[in-house]
Chains A and B, each alone.
Chain A
Amino acid sequence: MKIQLHNPRREVEIPGPLRASDLCKQLGLNRESVLLIRGDELVTGDALLEEGDTVEARPVISGG
């Protein structure tokens, strides 16, 4: 599956299927600091992400 990451913007390939919470662990992402968006829908930690999915890991922390 394709994972879109921010700061810096980039895309990585991760083999699926994979639980959303496991994806966060694999990428070292704190689940409090990101939202996972498949297509244009939010997914919870127990969602099963499939091989053909495109998932955005959107950071939610902002400064200033």
Chain B
Amino acid sequence: MKCHRCEQQAAVEVRHARAAYCPGCFVQRCREQVSRAISEHRMIRPGERVLVAVSGGKDSLAVWDLLLDLGYQADGVYLGLGIGGYSDRSGACARAFAERRGARLLEVDLADEAGFTIPQAAATRRIPCSACGLSKRHLLNEVALEHGFDVLVTGHNLDDEAAVLFGNTVTWNLPYLARQRPALPESPGFARRVKPLIRLTERETAAYCVIRRIDYIVEECPLAAGNRHLVYKELLNSLEERSPGAKAAFLNGFSERLMPLLDDLAAREREAVGTCSRCGSPTTAHVCAFCRLRDQATRPPRRRRTTRRGTRPARTGGGEVDPRVSLRP
């Protein structure tokens, strides 16, 4: 198979583009796709300070590498989640990349900042990935604002966005659909959040890292087992294998045709945002979701009563309510 551009031996097939590329032309294509996403969605303006949320995985390291090569002033931020050896290895990948590129990496630790780790949050009723996503959104936004960055970049790629879209469409969750955008503008309490990898699949970001010799964490997070987005991705990839381009058509069709119809709803959602009575972060509730998660994750474990069989006191029918349950959303 020959390279679509230079006729050299190809290394990567991009079936949704009906093309294959040699390593050099593939890297060039990735840069072009990221530049196009940035300019189409006005993600980053010239001279702005950029903060990249870095997990040590392929997507965040690829987007950081691409932005540095495109000439952006981009620092990274790594959030330690306390997931044992997995966090140790992902942090090591982020640090090694920063050192290799001579880039600045800020480090924040969830346990130091909020008093809990993701395994502790997973011990509550919350799904681990949901607690993790919520913690990342809250703390990374806080870091971006505190350090005066203009824009927060995440490594969400075409597959991530297609899977989220699929999930929100299956449940017809209109407020979530209205919020799903490649660039979310800054607003009081929120830094601008952008996704420059929106035009690249995760197969492409992984191939980019292999070609660029970027050492990323290949293993899946041990807490992600059963994650429903993984199931959606597998479903969409089954479709993609039979019909190359299906994922991009699904996502791009939404962006071009449906998203404009949801502008009013998105504006109403933004207007409904107030501030958390505890931490001052933007929220539509009295207490924000992150503060509620912290309450749940840092609450001491309930002591189990040791009642011998047959000696349990009879229920009175009274309305005694466990106060912890009433705090749950």
Contact = CB atoms under 8 A, between A and B. Distances in A.
Q: Note whether A and B form a binding pair.
A: yes
Interface of A: 6-7, 30-33, 35, 37, 40-47, 58-64
Interface residues of B, number: 38
Contacts of B237: 30, 32-33, 61
Contacts of B206: 35, 58, 60
A42 B57 contact: no
A60 B12 CA distance: 14
Interface in B227-280: 227, 229-230, 233-234, 237-238, 240-241
B161 interface: no
B221 interface: yes
A40 B240 CA distance: 26
Q: Main secondary structure on chain B at its contact with chain A? A: helix
Q: Main secondary structure on chain A at its contact with chain B? A: loop
B159 interface: yes
B210 interface: yes
Contact of A32 (B12, B23, B241): B241
B219 A6 contact: yes
B142 interface: no
Given A6-B219, A41-B11, A43-B11, A62 B59 contact: yes
Given A32-B15, A58-B206, A63-B230, 8 more contacts: A35-B210, A42-B11, A43-B11, A44-B20, A61-B159, A61-B233, A61-B234, A63-B224
Contacts of B159: 61
B219 to A, nearest CB: 7
Contacts of B13: 44-45
